[in-house]
Chains A and B, each alone.
Chain A
Amino acid sequence: DVKVTQSSRYLVKRTGEKVFLECVQDMDHENMFWYRQDPGLGLRLIYFSYDVKMKEKGDIPEGYSVSREKKERFSLILESASTNQTSMYLCATLEDSSYNEQFFGPGTRLTVL
């Protein structure tokens, strides 16, 4: 089974702090994604990566950056956390085949005070 893990299930940070959310996958998938999930808004893509050191902006990249130094790890960085970044963050990978299945991590619920 594909496993996508995220470093924390719950995280509480203060406004202005630098926040790192880590995602690790064990299936050697090339594509990895970071989404933000908010009630009534569904999943919105922040960034995705199609290879090591390669990244593309999604629909809501403002206030975020990403890092992919190794294939299995994709990090989301909040340079200076703000209260409007309080949300559920989901990491996902994409199967490298025509089947197109995305595999999701358990999510990190981030609260910024």
Chain B
Amino acid sequence: AQTVTQSQPEMSVQEAETVTLSCTYDTSESDYYLFWYKQPPSRQMILVIRQEAYKQQNATENRFSVNFQKAAKSFSLKISDSQLGDAAMYFCAYRSANTGNQFYFGTGTSLTVIP
């Protein structure tokens, strides 16, 4: 099984500042997908951003961007201009492009946004 590691159980950021959440993963495959999911308090998990491993360009979605370092097996999420609504649990996830539909999730990072 693949392993996904999020080494920061909790993070905090001042409103309007930038924060980076870390994620590393272990795989021997070359073709895969990486995801960041957001789970707000008492609300459904939603996709924030995704990255295909074959793409060298880092994905961006408005204030959210990733730093994908394939050789280092690192996939960090940067949130710019943090807003109160960004407060949530964030999960990093991995899925192979070739071997089935199973997703592997990290243990999550709880992000607090300080007004």
Point out residues on A near B: beta carbons under 8 Å: 4, 31, 33, 35, 40-45, 48, 50, 56, 58-59, 90, 92, 94, 99-102, 104-107
Which residues of chain A are within 8 angstroms of B1 by Cβ–Cβ distance?
59
Is A45's CB under 8 angstroms from B50's CB? Answer: no
Is B95's CB under 8 angstroms from A42's CB? Answer: no
B12 within 8 Å of A (CB atoms): no
Q: Chain B CB within 10 Å — which of A48, A56, A99, A102 has the most?
A: A102
Tell me whether chain A's interface is mostly helix, strand or loop, or mixed: strand
Known: A40-B107, A42-B108, A43-B91. A58 touches B46 (CB 8 A): no
Point out residues on B near A: beta carbons under 8 Å: 1, 4, 6, 9, 33, 35, 37, 43-47, 50, 91, 95, 100-103, 105-108
- Report 25 cross-chain contacts, Cβ distance below 8 Å, ordered by A residue: A33-B103, A35-B105, A42-B4, A42-B105, A42-B106, A42-B108, A43-B91, A43-B105, A45-B102, A45-B103, A48-B101, A59-B1, A90-B45, A92-B45, A94-B101, A100-B33, A100-B35, A101-B47, A101-B50, A102-B35, A102-B37, A104-B44, A106-B43, A106-B44, A107-B44
Is A102's CB under 8 angstroms from B44's CB? Answer: no
Is A58's CB under 8 angstroms from B95's CB? Answer: no
